[in-house]
Amino acid sequence: MKQFFGAFFGSVVGIVIASIIAALIIVAGVTASFSDAFKKDEKAFKSKGTSVLELVFDSEIIDREKKNPFEELDLGDFGGEKGMGLNTILNNLEKAKEDTAIKGLFLNFKGFMAGKSALMDIRQGLVDFKKSGKFVYAYSEGYSQSAYYLASAADKIFLNPQGGMEWKGLNMSLMFYKKTLEKLGIDVQIYRHGKFKSAIEPFILDKMSDANRLQAETFLNSIWNNMLVDISESRKISIDELNAMANTLAINFPEDALSNKLVDDLKYEDEVMSELKKKLKLKEKDKINFVSHAKYAKAKDKKKEKTEDKIAVIYAIGQINSGEGDDEEIGSETIAQAIKDARLNDKVKAIVLRVNSPGGSALASEIIWREAVLAKKTKPFIVSMGDVAASGGYYISCAADKIFAQPNTITGSIGVFGMVPNFKSAFEDKLGITIDTVNTNKYSDVMTTMRGATPTESVYIQKSVEKIYDVFIGRVADGRKMSKEQVDSIGQGRVWSGSDALKINLVDELGSLNDAIAFAAKKANLKNYKLMDLPKQKNPFEDIFSKIETETEAKMVKKSMGEYYGYWKHVKSLMNNKGVYARVPYDFIIQ
């Protein structure tokens, strides 16, 4: 009977899953059939001549937009993670600036996440858009500091009369696991080079070391000051006044934001729509022709239609590991192959490597670095740094002809470490499990997690760390035309902001992804060109189905842990590390 019910329910589950997959395939076919309709929409919208590009910020800002065959449908988890691509946002702003049909831009903030460097990229895009003479309006029911930073570039900022605004300065909290590991009986042995290499601090300390606190305070204050400079310039409020508001928690109610000139008016969304209609010289009964971010992304850029010349933009996003990787992890094989493909493609005249990575495997970083060196010999090779391009992220960047970073980019962290957890006591004392081992040679089980390392083994492991660090600073010295001693003096695992990194020759220029692309075009003597994004993205259906299980797990953990999800993800990645790593100290959760 048990077998019968087991087979029965198994069949039912199989039928349900098959039905879901079949339904999704049918939906995909229907979605594909909408493509002609989308094209018609583009032509219709262009002919009206009084359109407004609407950017609704309601999801995470990611470096590269993901292909989503279900973008017109709400399929929950089956639709994959939502996210606005920085590349698409910047491209839309560039197109809209020249598009005579687009009369202005409406920013609608409904809750989103973005790194501080990505925010600067978008804000610079907004400022550049305004040079066209077109208007930019912003509205929100409640501005976070990140949202307000973008909104501050607008001509007019509207806030819901019963809404709110956050203005308190930046903070960064780190979680330490030393006492937890002690309670569990887990001993972690650390091998590192660099007094600032604090990636392992959470496992051996219960608070920040003095060196770690120094670097954290330095780059956090640098990021905050960069935000204040931009806001001060746009809103004509002094930096001292902005700091005073934060220090006294002066912004508590919408009226406070208005009286302190942080916003221009308190209005409900329907009243903002009326303001937009006046700006567009429409009647109150008329409907505003909003063009969505997703739809406008389908509009062609006429300037780039009549050329075969290309600039390859290669996206290196996430922790660096060996193998293929995916959209959220840099696989050395995949990124190295993408660089090689761009190098061997005669139509590709320049390469821009977009790096947004805290680093990872030192060996995997070396594999990517090698391809970067080969590419540099054949065509312009430019790096654009995102929110984080540190440790291994800097390793794969240092060979470039020119490195662009935003003032708020986290970079540097030139240092390496190895970490070997010892679970012997945890198994024996907590679970009653004992371990016995047979070796063919004296050190066959070196670096095992079932016992601590002997003094001889510790020397052996430390030598590997020192060797890799020496290679690392050598790579940087060659790429940046510095001596190894100079690199070591600013290395030691220390983290720098982009603006500070410029002063010590770790980057060449402060600028956005678009600035890096423009420089690559100039270097390659290109006036017209197309962008070719690499690595090629997976088939959307294959990607969605392959990630259903992992994304469901991640969403469940996110839901239960909230803002602390980043800490869980960081611990999981570090505990899975193998070999020597070049990784930034921690995942940066700056609020």
Relative to beta strand 402-405, strand 509-510 is parallel
Q: What is the DSSP letter of 480?
A: H
Relative to beta strand 329-331, strand 325-326 is antiparallel
Helix axes 239-247, 210-235, angle to 10 degrees: 120
379 is catalytic: no
Is residue 354 within 8 A of residue 322, CB to CB? The reply is: no
391 is catalytic: yes
Q: Which of 97, 116, 130, 197 is catalytic?
A: 197
* CA atoms of 577 and 554, how far apart (whole Å): 19
* CA atoms of 168 and 148, how far apart (whole Å): 12
Tokens describing residue 428: 């024996």
CA distances (Å), 305 to each of 90, 297, 301, 350, 528, in order? 18, 15, 7, 18, 9
Tokens describing residue 235: 């809103």
CA angle 567, 405, 513 (to 5 degrees): 100
Q: What is the DSSP letter of 583?
A: E
Signed CA dihedral, 533, 536, 537, 539: sign only: positive
Give the residue from 130, 415, 391, 141 showing the smallest Cα distance to 272: 141
Tokens describing residue 563: 């803002």
Residues 461/465/466/469 CA torsion (nearest 10 deg)? 170
Cis peptide before 380 (omega within 30 of 0): no
Helix (H) or strand (E) holding 461: helix 455-480
Q: Which of 146, 391, 397, 497 is catalytic?
A: 391
* CA atoms of 90 and 124, how far apart (whole Å): 9
First to last CA, the chain: 57
CA angle 47, 48, 52 (to 5 degrees): 120
* CA atoms of 435 and 451, how far apart (whole Å): 9
* CA atoms of 145 and 134, how far apart (whole Å): 25
* CA atoms of 253 and 258, how far apart (whole Å): 9
* CA atoms of 513 and 516, how far apart (whole Å): 5
Is residue 300 within 8 A of residue 343, CB to CB? The reply is: no
* CA atoms of 188 and 194, how far apart (whole Å): 18
Q: Which residues are the active-site residues?
A: 197, 391
